[in-house]
Amino acid sequence: MASRRARELVNKGNEFFNLGKFGEAIQLYDEALALSPEFLEALFNKGVALCELQRFREALNYFNKVLELNPRDWEALTNKGNVLFNLLEFKEALDCYGKALEINPGDAETLYNRGNLLLRLGRFEEAVKMFDEALVLNPRIAEASLNKALALLVFTKPLNCEEAISRVGSVIDSLEHVWSQEKLSPQILERFRTDVPRLMIQVIQNLAEVCGMQGSKTVRRIKELLTKILGDKGYREFLGKTDLEIHPGSTMYRDILKQENFPTWSK
């Protein structure tokens, strides 16, 4: 059990951590560990602080110490997986994520991180499953919807038009849901505005190749999505700078994308 002084030192270290002063936080965690060597919170938090400083090998030692004391600490397992991912030790990272999810299958961040690793390993269908499960638990994980789009639409080729349209529809649903959230970070907003339009143009080229005019309804949904993300002016500017002539079949889709949105009149 941690001493009262060790607890005070960890609390102070956490204050420094929250201010982004990771070196100072580590010093205080070390002082706490000198008093209470098995203080789990100090071991865990020092590991996280070392990760923030990109000192992954050192961080790994501290997560291992936590797991020696408590093998069912799923957060330590997840963080150990993240460290191993950064160290390119993918098999071991996948094992850690799997163990963490056995203990706590409802953690969206672990599901998301495992999905990213599966994406990196080229196991795209499994990655999509992880991203979908993460989004059910936490629809605000915007990166999951974007990486799901990469896995479904860029790295794997559909077998036929029906599958292609289904995949694109699933991705649009995810992106629209995330975009509808009240607060997105500036980084996510920027990624949506830069990555999603480029991705969707590639999707349109693929639809032209696989579906012909059967994909027209889906292209209209893509247009609506891009207009939401970029605004009317930004959408027009984007189209003006974009080549839509890569595939002969894309001409018909280009016309859909460039149609002006006229108001409809009620009777």
Q: What are the tens digits of pLDDT across the range 52-65?
A: 999 999 999 999 99
Superfamily of segment(s) 1-70:
Tetratricopeptide repeat domain (1.25.40.10)
Give the mean pLDDT of 165-185. 80
Count CB neighbours of 91 within 10 A: 9
Count CB neighbours of 85 within 10 A: 21
Stretch among 141-145, 204-208, 246-250, 254-258 having the lowest mean pLDDT: 246-250
Give the mean pLDDT of 22-35. 95
pLDDT on residue 259: 76
Main-chain phi, psi angles of 164, to 5 degrees: -60, -45
**At CB < 8 A and 24+ separation, what contacts does 167-176 make?**
168/203, 168/207, 168/215, 168/218, 168/221, 168/222, 169/218, 169/221, 171/145, 172/218, 172/221, 172/222, 172/225, 174/135, 174/144, 174/145, 174/148, 174/149, 175/145, 175/146, 175/149, 175/225, 176/225, 176/228
The answer on pLDDT for 253 being more than 50 is yes
Tokens of 11: 């609390």
Of 56, 58, 63, 12, nearest to 40 (Cα)?
63
pLDDT on residue 62: 97
pLDDT on residue 2: 65
Give the mean pLDDT of 130-152. 77
Q: Where are the domains of the chain?
A: 1-70, 71-152, 157-259
The rounded percent of the chain whose pLDDT value lies above 90 is 44
pLDDT on residue 34: 93
The rounded percent of the chain whose pLDDT value lies above 70 is 88
Give the amino acid at 211.
C
> Could you give the dihedral angle defined by the CA atoms of residues 130, 136, 142 and 143, in that order, rounded to the nearest 10 degrees?
-10
pLDDT tens digits, one per residue of 75-118: 999 999 999 999 999 999 999 999 999 999 999 999 999 998 99
Domain 71-152 has CATH 1.25.40.10: yes
Confidence of residue 1 (pLDDT cuts 50, 70, 90): low
**Same fold flag, 1-70 and 71-152:** yes
The answer on pLDDT for 140 being more than 80 is no
Confidence of residue 43 (pLDDT cuts 50, 70, 90): very high
Give the mean pLDDT of 179-190. 77
pLDDT tens digits, one per residue of 194-236: 888 888 887 887 788 788 778 888 889 999 999 999 998 998 8
pLDDT tens digits, one per residue of 88-100: 999 999 999 999 9
**Predicted model pTM:** 0.68
Rounded Cα gap, residues 183 and 161, in angstroms: 35
